[in-house]
Structures are given as structure tokens and as C-alpha cells.
Structure 1
Amino acid sequence: MSTYQHKVQYYETDRMGITHHSNYIRWMEEARTDFLDKIGFNYAEMEAKGLSSPVIGVKCDYKASTTFDDIVEIKAYVLSCTSAKFVVGYDMKKDDKVVFKGESTHCFLDNSGKIIRLQKELPHFYDVLCKNQQENAV
């Protein structure tokens, strides 16, 4: 599990003074990128090798609101991993109170858009993702 912090910016709030719902998905991406960096799989390096990891699904469950200047702690972790795709879970908290729970599902593609089977073509990455999933299943 990886922890990432985001400080809510003024431009991320709406006319009511609360964070617009679309920003939570952006924060998921920030936390996921940070998580992958921490486990040794930097997005820029993967893209330089001709790999991409598109989002193929998103689930969001908004529990409470956040406002300008709040510090949101985001935990990112692997919920599931198969050879074809993986799912990242996100728990967002403000002052130890859950404000958001989400998931994003991803696959990996090569330059031609062909799906890459992680277990076969990126076995070390597959193993690291599966290990993270097992650690968070406890």
C-alpha cells in the first residue's frame, strides 16, 4: 500500500465551495502514478519502452466532501491482478475520516495497441503487483 497526499486547490472547488467530484478521479491518477513509481514502474519509463496502461474502468463512492486547503491522504493498493489486467483501489481520507473510495481497472498495451499479457511479457511487474495484492488482502 502506498500513501500519497494531495492539498485541495481553490480551482478544484465549485461554486458551493466543495471539491468538484471530477477531481477525485484525477487524484486517483496522481496516487496511482506515485504508487507505481514507488514499486519501480515509472510511467514515463514504461512509455519510453512502448507500453501504455489505459484506464478501462472506474468506480467511485463519495462518502464526504472536501474543501479548499484540505489535505487528502490517498492510499493506493492492488485489489486484483490477472495476466491481462489489474485493479487499483483507493481510500481517501481527510483528518482520518473516509471521504472517498474508488477503483480503477487497467490493461497494458504495446505500441500497436495489442494487449500485453503481464505474466508472460512483464513477469517481474506481474509478480510485484500480485505481491502487493496479497499484502493488502490481509
Structure 2
Amino acid sequence: MAYQETDGQRRVHHANYLNYFERGRVEMLRELGHNYKSIEDDGHMLVVAEMNVKYFAPAEFDDWLELTTTVMEVRKVRMRHRYQIHRDGQLLVEADSVIACVDRSGKLARLPNLKTR
């Protein structure tokens, strides 16, 4: 963890985890052969509709963390992800999100055909 990601207690600020989850989604899609920019260029915007985060233990400056991102469910216009952040095998944070697909005008749209596993 970088120093600028911590708060006055030298712990990772809770809001930074949302950025880690987004990175996890983008990298997961990349590993599955998808390009987030191309998805958006095709008119599909993947937006966060819900986020539920549970904090079990703090991460601190200079910790090495492991993020796991998993697609739990795919429906016509939404998909649900689970995120887990571990340090040395200890679960620190777990979250679930619902990502909705919208078109350029912001209306719900069918998800593009994405490989999710």
C-alpha cells in the first residue's frame, strides 16, 4: 500500500477500496480477453448500481494485499461481482457489487456478450 492511500492513522482509507475493486473488474475483463475501452467505444457503459462493503481488519502502509474479483451472476442488463482482499491469507475486506449496463443516454441496455470465466 502506498503512503498516499492511507489516512492519519496510517491505515488504508476506506474509500480507496472502491478504486481497488474497479481495478479488479477492469483487470479481470482484460484477462478474459476484453478491453474496457472497446466496450465503452461500442456504446456500452458499465456503471456501479450497488456496492456493499464489509471491513474486517485494516490494511496499513506498506502492506502487500491480494485482490480476488469473481463474477457471481450475469443477467440481461446487470452482473454481480464479489471482491475479497487478503493480507497473508487473512480476509481484510469483502464486497459485492451490481454493475449495470447503460447506453450513452444512461438508459439500461443489454450487456454485451462478455466471457466471464
Quote how far apart the aligned CAs of 1:90 are.
Answer: 0.4
**TM value normalised by structure 2:** 0.93
Aligned twin of 1:47: 40
Alpha-carbon deviations, 1:16-58, whole Å to 9, x = none? 1111111111110111110111112221111111211110000
Structure 2 unpaired stretches of 5+: none
How far apart are 1:75 and its partner, in Å? 0.4
User: How many residues in Structure 1 have an aligned counterpart in Structure 2?
Assistant: 117
Q: Which has the higher helix share?
A: 1
CA shift at 1:10, angstroms?
0.2
TM-score norm. by structure 1 comes to: 0.80
Which letter maps to 2:29? Answer: L
- Deviation digits for residues 76-106 of structure 1 (CA, Å, limit 9, x no counterpart): 0111111120011001100111101001111
1:88 to 75, 81, 84: 81
Secondary structure of 1:36's counterpart equals helix
Deviations 1:51-78 (A, max 9, x none): 1111000010001111111111000011
Alignment partner of 1:76 is 2:42: no
- Residue in 1 that maps onto 2:59: 66
Identity of aligned residues (%): 28
Distance 1:52 1:93 in 2: 29
Residue in structure 2 matched with residue 34 of structure 1 by the alignment: 27
1:10 corresponding residue in structure 2: 3
Indicate whether 1:103 and 2:96 are aligned: yes
C-alpha RMSD of the superposition: 1.2
What residue is the counterpart of 2:14 in the other structure? 21
Distance 1:104 1:39 in 2: 19
Task: Quote the Cα distance in structure 1 between the aligned partners of 2:102 and 2:4.
Answer: 33
Paired residue secondary structure (1:111): coil
Structure 1 gaps, min length 5: 1-7, 133-138
Alignment of 1:120-135 (within 5 A): 122=112, 124-125=113-114, 128-129=115-116, 132=117
Q: Which amino acid aligns with 1:28?
A: F
Offset at 1:113?
Answer: 2.1
